[in-house]
């Protein structure tokens, strides 16, 4: 069963505008963590942001924030004030279990973001 | 900032040959992982490793694959007899102690091309 779904294969955004990348997930665990990674064209995987299922506040890291809607099982990434360097593939991932869990990550298909000047 | 390093960045190998992909995890990390990404597809989990043994492995990680931590710093993935379908980007990742949310930090990957 598909556990992480990213329905937007590709997105465009104008430089300096905000953009939302969608991610929905499926799990029967009450405790889990959600992650976003950025993969530039050079190929490396860069950790951006983490949200725990019991976290009451939405996670934020600089220009990245996570719009976590637990009842809807969605964890959308919001990038504010887009920059040309934000052009990349973005992956949503989930790790089932408590925050201390060190298990595998399950990835979505990814969304390619292109920032237009 | 400490980082995971992988070598080589690109490996070209004839089908049927053995290949070893190398990784140096972040020095104080205890949990190690291998993932792969076939071109244009999502990242897939292969195996996790802790305390010198495999913690979990996926269906992909069959008898052709093995992992080893030969010394205190390296973590290797061996494919014994490579197949065309093994062509992919292979990522090593590591994470720290339990007790706090620990993101997995990825290396830059090794692009494996099987001819």
Minimal C-alpha gap between A13 and chain B (Å): 22
Lowest-confidence range among A18-32, A50-64, A94-108, B90-104?
B90-104
Number of H helices, E strands in chain B: 0, 11
Average pLDDT of B54-66?
94
Query: Could B42 and A99 be called an inter-chain contact, meaning their C-beta atoms sit closer than 8 Å?
Result: no
Instruction: Specify the DSSP element, H or E, that contains B93.
Output: strand B88-95
Q: Which residues of B touch A50 (CB under 8 A)?
A: 101, 103
Task: Decide: A18 and A81 in contact? Cβ < 8 Å.
Answer: yes
Residue in this structure with the two tokens 């070209």, named with its chain if needed: B12
Cα–Cα distance for residue pair B44/B61, rounded to 1 Å: 11
Q: Identify the CA nearest to A104 among candidates A43, A32, A54, A45.
A: A32
Output the pLDDT for position A79.
98
Average pLDDT of A6-24?
96
Task: Give the number of other CB atoms < 10 A from CB of residue A50.
Answer: 19
Query: Could A103 and B48 be called an inter-chain contact, meaning their C-beta atoms sit closer than 8 Å?
Result: yes
Query: Could B104 and A46 be called an inter-chain contact, meaning their C-beta atoms sit closer than 8 Å?
Result: no
Work out the mean pLDDT of chain B and round it to a whole number: 92
SS3 letters across chain A? CCCEECCCCEEEEECCCCEEECCEECCCCCCEEEEEEEECCCCCCEEEEEEECCCCCCCEECCEEEEEECCCCEEEEEECCCCHHHCEEEEEEEEECCCCCCCCCEECCCEEEEEEC
Question: Does pLDDT of B73 surpass 90?
Answer: no
Q: Give pLDDT tens digits for A51-108.
A: 999 988 999 999 999 999 999 999 999 999 999 999 999 999 999 877 777 789 999 9
Q: Give pLDDT tens digits for B4-49.
A: 999 999 999 999 999 999 999 998 888 999 999 998 888 999 999 9
Question: Does pLDDT of A38 surpass 90?
Answer: yes
Residue in this structure with the two tokens 């298990």, named with its chain if needed: A103
Question: Comparing A52 with A1, which gets the higher pLDDT?
Answer: A52
Output the pLDDT for position A1.
58
Output the pLDDT for position A103.
86
pLDDT band at B72 (very low <50, low <70, confident <90, very high): confident
Q: Which of B31, B42, B95 sits opposite A108 (nearest CB)?
A: B42
Instruction: Specify the DSSP element, H or E, that contains B64.
Output: none
Interface of B to A at Cβ within 8 Å reads 31, 33, 35, 41-45, 48, 50, 55-56, 58, 89, 91, 93, 95, 98-109, 111
């Amino acid at each position: 069963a598909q556990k992480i779904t990213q329905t937007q294969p590709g997105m465009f955004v104008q430089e300096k505008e905000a953009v939302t990348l969608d991610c929905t997930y499926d799990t029967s665990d009450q405790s889990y963590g959600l992650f976003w990674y950025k993969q530039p064209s050079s190929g490396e995987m860069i950790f951006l942001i983490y949200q725990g299922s019991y976290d009451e506040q939405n996670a934020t890291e600089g220009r990245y924030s996570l719009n976590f809607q637990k009842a809807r099982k969605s964890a959308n990434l919001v990038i504010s004030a887009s920059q040309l360097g934000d052009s990349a593939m973005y992956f949503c991932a989930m790790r089932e279990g408590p925050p201390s869990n060190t298990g595998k990550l399950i990835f979505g298909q990814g969304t390619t973001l292109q920032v237009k000047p | 900032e400490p980082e995971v390093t992988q070598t080589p960045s690109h490996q070209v190998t004839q089908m049927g040959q053995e290949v070893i992909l190398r990784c140096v995890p972040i020095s104080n990390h205890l949990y190690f992982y291998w993932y792969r990404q076939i071109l244009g597809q999502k990242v897939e989990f292969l195996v996790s490793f802790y305390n010198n043994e495999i913690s979990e492995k996926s269906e992909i990680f069959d008898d052709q694959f093995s992992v080893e931590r030969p010394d205190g710093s390296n973590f290797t993935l061996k494919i014994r007899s490579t197949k065309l379908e093994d062509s992919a980007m292979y990522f090593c990742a590591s994470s720290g102690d339990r007790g706090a949310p620990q993101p997995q930090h990825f290396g830059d990957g090794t692009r494996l091309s099987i001819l």
